[in-house]
Amino acid sequence: MAQRSQNRRGAKAAQKPSAPRAPSRPASGRRKGKKAAAQLGLFDTAVSPEKVLRRTGPARSAPAPDATATPQPAESETAPTVAEPAGEKPLSARRSRTKERSMAELLAAGQREISVSEFFTKNRHLLGFDNPQKALLTAVKEAVDNSLDACEEARILPEIEVVIQELSENRFRVRITDNGPGIVHSQIPRVFGKLLYGSKFHRLRQSRGQQGIGISAAGMYAQLTTGKPVCITSRTRADRPAHRLEIRIDTRKNEPERVRDEKDVPWEAPFPTGTRVEMEIEALYRAGRRSVDQYVEQTAIANPHATIHYQSPKGERVTFERLTQELPPEPLTIKPHPHGVELGALGMMLKDTRARDLRGMLVREFSRVSDRVAQAMLQIAGLRPEAKPRSTKPEEIERLHRALSQVKVMSPPSACVVPIGEELILKGLQKGVQADFVTSATRPPAVYRGNPFIVEAGLAWGGSLPGEELASLYRFANRVPLQYQQSDCAITKAVMDTDWRNYRVQQARGALPTGPLVIMVHIASVWVPFTSESKEAVARYPEILREIRLALQTCGRRLAVHLSQRRREAEEGRKRSYIETYIPHIGIALKEMLRLDDKQERKVVETLTDTLRRSRATV
């Protein structure tokens, strides 16, 4: 018994806790943050493991248990803590990183590729389909643009029929038929059922279409709003039947789906060849400004070589006959200009070129670059002319890109840009606007970011135009009317920045001029800098703004001369009326004073009238 009690006292002594330590000072916030970050391993990528060991010290091992002490259970029932080897991260940090990897894998599982058609399905406002009235105009515009481009490339005088039928309160059938060359059967599905598919994006040439989006986006909108596919009928030869396809877009894959395919169908159009596009869309028709009616009228003004037959939803038919039997000159396709190429584009050109050396690449891939100019560029960049383009390093590409803009290079050839022409602008405005005075001006070619462009302007004054309203502004880009986003357009800014009071036209500050005035501005370029995919406004490049102002000032000076002449004529008429009013009274007074007879009185009146008129003519 004595031995047992002695053993119990020894065990209790072993279990007795040691003396408590003095409480340590709490660490500052910065020291706490550094210590926690070191434990979580947040600085492992920036600090080596040796530095981490020096900062935290070696891992402490648990003290050896007393041989005589009886092992006691831990406070918690979990597994006992095991000392970690020196240099390893704490267990809590490793568990946190494991949870982070699991969350990253969970997030990665939800990611997938988004097709361009799926993107524009949810963002159709970027393409001009943000409201029903605008959607009707955009659908007609895209089809008409394609028809005009096809006819001009085939060197055929365009003749287009636009028919809009109202099926119900908010549903319309749009049908556009042209006399173009037609579309090959195998190409129809991709042309009308795949976004970003076309022949105009990769070339520098003036055309209405640029991106390969427009007509397929109109078909996608029809599919979304009515569920109906787009129907395309085309004939490529007069001695063959037409083929008809109904196309839908698989928006998840951006690929066309053929709903119907008929190869031998009758051609109902009055043209030997051509294409007919039909679609049903939800839309809203309103006459007046920014309507389809106004779009067709302005299209006829900017394309005087085209005949357009138009039937409105009300059933009214009107024909805009062509004003000339000559097609515009065919624009040339040019190479990129060295002053307009971006750094990334230059890198791609170096990889894709077939030239064997850098000098040959510059001469072959760029416009207006000769051997001498290429040698000067390479000398500034510090590169060898015989070096291989594909072996160029990133820092060398950057030096070459800077050198391209430092060497003086001729402007791009202007044959790639075809303006409407002053004479045809006059004819178009005279036919489309009932005015007393019409003038136009065409500027010489200019360049922005290496892209050539030409600005044209026209003015129409008086006649039946309203005199107390703001001037009407007709904006065109590559012969296409721009109906929306007027306030965001460079054309509008240039018009408002012009001081029209110098040309005897009223104007409030920061506004369009006031009076019976129509202002027309056309920009022709191989690449028009639109502000969005819907192509409704032109970006405000300083070079473009300057050319627009100069063209408007030329027209404004002519308008000022016309208004000054009209005022002189009005003043002359007013004074003439005074003469006609008072000279007969003078003749009567002279007759009474000089006792003249009636014959002498008439002679005196005629003499006075003739003398006053001749004296005013000499003045």
pLDDT in tens, 28-55: 444 444 444 444 444 444 444 344 334 4
Instruction: Determine the pLDDT at residue 73.
Output: 47
Instruction: Say what the alpha-carbon torsion angle 521, 137, 296, 274 is, to the nearest 10 degrees.
Output: 120
Biggest CA pair distance of the chain: 177
Going by their DSSP bridges, the two strands 307-311 and 159-168 should be labelled as parallel
**First and final C-alpha spacing in the chain:** 151
pLDDT in tens, 171-203: 999 999 999 999 999 999 988 988 877 666 667
Q: What is the DSSP letter of 332?
A: P
Report the distance separating Cα 143 and Cα 171, nearest Å.
Answer: 18
**CA dihedral sign, ordered 66, 70, 74, 75:** negative
Please check whether residue 46 is in contact with residue 34, taking contact to mean a CB–CB distance below 8 angstroms.
Answer: no
Instruction: Determine the pLDDT at residue 433.
Output: 87
Q: What is the DSSP letter of 438?
A: E
- The beta-strand segments (E) located in 123-253 are 159-168, 171-178, 230-235, 242-250
Instruction: Determine the pLDDT at residue 294.
Output: 92
Please check whether residue 292 is in contact with residue 314, taking contact to mean a CB–CB distance below 8 angstroms.
Answer: no
Instruction: Determine the pLDDT at residue 551.
Output: 95
Q: What is the DSSP string of 37-106?
A: HHHHTTTTTTS-HHHHHHHH-SPPPPPPPPTTSPP---SSSSPPP-PPPTTSPPHHHHHHHHHHHHHHHH
Q: Which of 199, 259, 186 is nearest to 223 (CA)?
A: 259
CATH 1.10.8.50 occupies which residues in the chain?
338-406
Report the distance separating Cα 573 and Cα 561, nearest Å.
Answer: 18
Going by their DSSP bridges, the two strands 472-477 and 517-525 should be labelled as parallel
Residues in a beta bridge with 34: none
The one-letter amino acid code at 513 reads P
Q: Which of 30, 52, 53 is nearest to 43 (CA)?
A: 52
Instruction: Determine the pLDDT at residue 51.
Output: 44
Instruction: Determine the pLDDT at residue 43.
Output: 41
Q: Which fold has domain 118-320?
A: Heat Shock Protein 90 (3.30.565)
Residues in a beta bridge with 162: 176, 310
Q: Which residues contact 606 (CB under 8 A, 6 or more apart)?
A: none
Instruction: Determine the pLDDT at residue 494.
Output: 94
CB atoms within 10 A of CB 110: 6
Q: How many CA atoms, within 13 angstroms, populate the side-chain half-sphere of residue 259?
A: 14
Q: What is the DSSP string of 544-591?
A: HHHHHHHHHHHHHHHHHHHHHHHHHHHHHHHHHHHHHHHHHHHHHHHH
CATH 3.30.565.10 occupies which residues in the chain?
118-320
Q: What is 415-563's CATH number, 3.30.230.10, 3.40.1410.10, 2.60.120.260, 3.20.20.300? A: 3.30.230.10
Instruction: Determine the pLDDT at residue 87.
Output: 55
**CB-count burial class (<10 Å; 0-12, 13-18, 19+) for 434:** exposed
Report the distance separating Cα 338 and Cα 365, nearest Å.
Answer: 9
Instruction: Determine the pLDDT at residue 306.
Output: 94
The one-letter amino acid code at 441 reads A
What does each C-alpha distance from 198 to 19, 92, 147, 194, 279 come to in angstroms? 86, 57, 14, 9, 20
**CA dihedral sign, ordered 78, 79, 84, 90:** negative
Report the distance separating Cα 359 and Cα 374, nearest Å.
Answer: 6
Report the distance separating Cα 143 and Cα 292, nearest Å.
Answer: 13
Flag residues of the chain having pLDDT under 50: 1-2, 4, 11-20, 22-24, 26-71, 73-82, 619
Instruction: Determine the pLDDT at residue 159.
Output: 95
CATH 3.30.230.10 occupies which residues in the chain?
415-563
Q: What is 338-406's CATH number, 1.10.8.50, 3.10.105.10, 1.25.40.340, 3.40.640.10? A: 1.10.8.50
- The beta-strand segments (E) located in 333-485 are 437-442, 446-448, 451-461, 472-477, 480-482
Residues in the chain: 619
The number of helix segments (H) and strand segments (E) in the chain equals 17, 16
Instruction: Determine the pLDDT at residue 161.
Output: 95
